[in-house]
Structure 1
Amino acid sequence: MSAFDKDDLSGFIGKHLVYTYDNGWNYEIYVKNSQTLDYRIHSGLVGNRWVKGQRAYIVRVGESIYKISWTEPTGTDVSLIANLGDKLFHGTIFFPRWVINNPEKTVCFQNDHIPLMESYREVGPAYPTEVIDEFATITFVRDCGPDDDSVIACAASELPADFPNNLI
């Protein structure tokens, strides 16, 4: 029997996290509610891409450990583990081949281009899939409460130079 309530997501919902993968890629995520997240990519293969209202599976797997998984309209599959106690992330991203071949096609505010992303996905190619499996360090955490559309509201390129320190 678990020493924690696996159905209790209250320690995760509303969290705004910035994290840097060991490969140097910088990401940001906001856990909007129990089924939705917003995210912004600061650097890496698809740096400056951002998404709001991404449906996701969010579960608690430990005292302060959560898992988030989703499939994007691009065909990219993502699974993240956030260990808030140790400020550690682990991400596995399954990129379809078309994203690896042409990452610039996805660098946008995805919500304005979902039919286009789906058409790219359908054309492919999907395989061979590129798997990115990396640890990351959580560099910033704040509580914003649930369903706050202002947390992630622009591309990374539009943020102040001192982000996220400007939020302190």
Structure 2
Amino acid sequence: MQVKDLDQFLGSHFIYTYANGWEYEFYVKNENTVDYRIHSGMVGGRWVRDQKADIVKLTDGVFKVTWTEPTGTDVALDFMPNEKRLHGVIFFPKWVHEHPEITVRYQNDFIPLMEESREKYETYPKYVVPEFADITFMKNEGINNEKVISEAPYPSLAEDIRTGKKSFS
């Protein structure tokens, strides 16, 4: 099925790998909220639920999701699900690039630590990561499915999801 409109995009669950090798998992929870897990890369092991985001349809089959994290990291993702591609730009504050280990946890339980670190360490210059990614898994799990991103990433989780060993129905 081709994804054309926003109502088809909402509830989508993706796993994608950036050209630099970083693997992410992303769930479009509803019209203004996303959940995600980071499986590898600079902040691999990090996971977040209920991140407020701006989610819009740019044109048929192309969607933009943008947000600012409590860390001060800004993210802009352009999803092209029918082509199994996306383009992302992550604007990491200097402190996240220099101390990524502070963010590698379940963010929701550590918002004060993220805010404290954002004030304690330098923000600029930002470490900008613009990359294309290949979508390696895509399924609509329905809106507000709390089962999708409900545990920390573990080494085989992305593959378990892709092979159907782990499902969220």
Structure 2 match to 1:99: 96
Give the C-alpha shift of residue 124 in structure 1.
Answer: 2.1
8 Å CA contact 1:97, 1:125 repeated in 2: yes
Q: Matches of 1:160 and 1:125 in 2, distance apart? A: 34
Give the C-alpha shift of residue 48 in structure 1.
Answer: 0.5
The counterpart of 2:83, out of the listed 57, 81, 86, is 86
Q: Secondary structure at the match of 1:150?
A: coil
Q: Matches of 2:96 and 2:72 in 1, distance apart? A: 9
Structure 2 match to 1:26: 23
Structure 2 match to 1:126: 123
Amino acid at match of 2:57: R
Alignment of 1:47-126 (within 5 A): 47-126=44-123
Structure 1 match to 2:12: 15
Q: Matches of 1:119 and 1:61 in 2, distance apart? A: 35
Q: Secondary structure at the match of 2:154?
A: helix
Q: Secondary structure at the match of 2:88?
A: strand
Give the C-alpha shift of residue 167 in structure 1.
Answer: 4.0
Q: Secondary structure at the match of 1:163?
A: helix
8 Å CA contact 2:39, 2:155 repeated in 1: no
Q: Matches of 2:56 and 2:117 in 1, distance apart? A: 30
8 Å CA contact 1:68, 1:80 repeated in 2: yes
Amino acid at match of 1:85: N
Query: Are residue 152 (structure 1) and residue 149 (structure 2) matched?
Result: yes
Amino acid at match of 2:64: K
State the percentage of identical aligned residues.
51
8 Å CA contact 1:96, 1:124 repeated in 2: no
- The total of aligned residue pairs comes to 162
Q: Secondary structure at the match of 1:120?
A: helix
8 Å CA contact 1:90, 1:133 repeated in 2: yes
**More displaced, 150-159 or 131-140?**
150-159
8 Å CA contact 1:11, 1:64 repeated in 2: no
Q: Secondary structure at the match of 1:68?
A: strand
Give the C-alpha shift of residue 159 in structure 1.
Answer: 5.5
Give the C-alpha shift of residue 121 in structure 1.
Answer: 0.6
Give the C-alpha shift of residue 156 in structure 1.
Answer: 1.0
The TM-score, its normalising length taken from structure 2, stands at 0.92
Amino acid at match of 1:132: V
Unpaired runs of at least 5, structure 1: none
Q: Matches of 2:53 and 2:47 in 1, distance apart? A: 15
Q: Matches of 1:68 and 1:96 in 2, distance apart? A: 19
Q: Secondary structure at the match of 2:118?
A: helix
